[in-house]
Amino acid sequence: MKIVAVVGPSGSGKTTLLARLVPEFRSRGLKVGVIKHTHKDVALDTEGKDTWTFTEAGAAAVGIVTPSRAAVFLRSGPDVETLARRFFTDVDIVLVEGGKAMGGLKKISLIREGAERIAIPPDELLVVISDGPVAGDAPFLRTSQTKELADLLIATPLPPSAAGAEDLFSKHDACVLAALRKGTVGIAGAGGLGSNIAVSLARAGVGRLIVADRDAIEASNLNRQQYFVSQIGRRKVAALKENLEAINPYSDYVVHDVEVTAANVVPIFGDADIMVEAFDRAEAKRMLIETWLSQRPGRPIVAASGLAGYGGNRKLHSRRMGDLYVCGDEASQCPEGVSPMAPRVAVVANLQANLVVAFLVKRKGRKLKLAAANRP
């Protein structure tokens, strides 16, 4: 996916240009998305309508589907680039009307003759569009050169930071990826196990992760957890969400900065297809396993036991007991003076993540095949 902003003063012709570009791209077999960006607070819904009532009641997201269109209203909307990458996943190019302050995006600058030009950093300026004289040595096209502009946009290489989901997961089998994208995984704990599990699942392309942890990042965490020195002192779940979005911005990450208890397991993780236990303390592990198995029968939980120290590769394994899976050596305890170390922690975390991926591909893949078989 390519995302390009069209910027210019009011009345410079941004809407007119976009209205010409859309059919030009469509004539070349490309799917186009358009986002209107504005700093003004405009009404997106109608007071008194059902969708407005649900939003006012506190719903984080409200959707409406009709035979010809669909819309989603978000209480706290993401930035334009995140919105495009999350909801325009099957689009080849997204054109943003406005967005002069959005850093990092390539921009088309429209200049109306006699009007003041909007300042754009040279590394973000793609081309200047104007029918009047233009100072400087920036690439330049006339407003009538729609085909030439389309050629330029298609030929412009994507910066690495703007790789699309189709690029990130291009090596995945389409059926496997579709199954993973439909999956929701709960992760209780964002420490050595939880942060490593979350990173692996994000890289695999799992569609939604729900993570809960109440701790802050300490310097001693960095020897085995997926955080950075600059994040010391921050809440783990907030920092983890930031890191996951930097790795894979196309999945949904829901985080809860709370202690997980028997009373809130289902309210927090109830939507998860599969649960992952990533706690340090034995009593917390037991509580989560017992609560999940009793209140979410038929939905597996993947736990860890025995990952201390180093070495002992041949002792690490996974074992199934009904809907409970246990990964580790199920025996080791940290000897005095030896803390959990990154290699063994990561191995066990990835045993857990690997079981999650296998479950989602099997369960979700079966549902997708059934849906395809029943489709008229």
pLDDT tens, the chain, 376 aa long: 678 888 887 777 888 989 999 999 899 888 888 988 877 777 778 888 898 899 888 888 888 998 888 888 887 666 777 777 677 767 788 888 887 777 777 888 888 766 666 677 877 888 888 877 766 677 788 888 889 988 888 877 655 444 456 678 878 888 888 899 989 999 999 999 999 999 999 999 999 999 999 999 999 999 999 999 999 999 999 999 999 988 998 898 999 999 999 999 999 999 999 999 999 999 999 999 999 999 999 999 999 999 888 888 999 999 999 999 999 999 877 667 677 889 999 999 999 999 999 999 998 766 655 555 555 4
Question: 36 with 182, same domain?
Answer: no
> Cα(188)–Cα(194) distance, rounded to whole angstroms?
7
Which domain, by its residues, includes 269?
171-371
Last residue of a domain, one of 104, 135, 162: 162
Pairs from 117-124 (Cβ < 8 Å, separation ≥ 24)? 118/7, 118/8, 118/9, 120/7
CATH number where 124 lies: 3.40.50.300
Question: 156 with 183, same domain?
Answer: no
pTM to 2 decimal places: 0.60
Question: 139 with 244, same domain?
Answer: no
- Quote the pLDDT of residue 162: 46
What phi and psi, each to the nearest 5 degrees, are found at residue 320? -105, 135
- Quote the pLDDT of residue 115: 60
In a domain, 376, yes or no: no
Last residue of a domain, one of 102, 132, 162: 162
Instruction: Please state the length of the chain.
Output: 376
- How many structural domains does the chain have? 2
Question: 153 with 178, same domain?
Answer: no
Question: 266 with 298, same domain?
Answer: yes
CATH number where 282 lies: 3.40.50.720
In a domain, 360, yes or no: yes
> Cα(100)–Cα(107) distance, rounded to whole angstroms?
8
In a domain, 335, yes or no: yes
In a domain, 69, yes or no: yes
Question: 238 with 302, same domain?
Answer: yes
Question: 125 with 43, same domain?
Answer: yes
> Cα(352)–Cα(324) distance, rounded to whole angstroms?
11
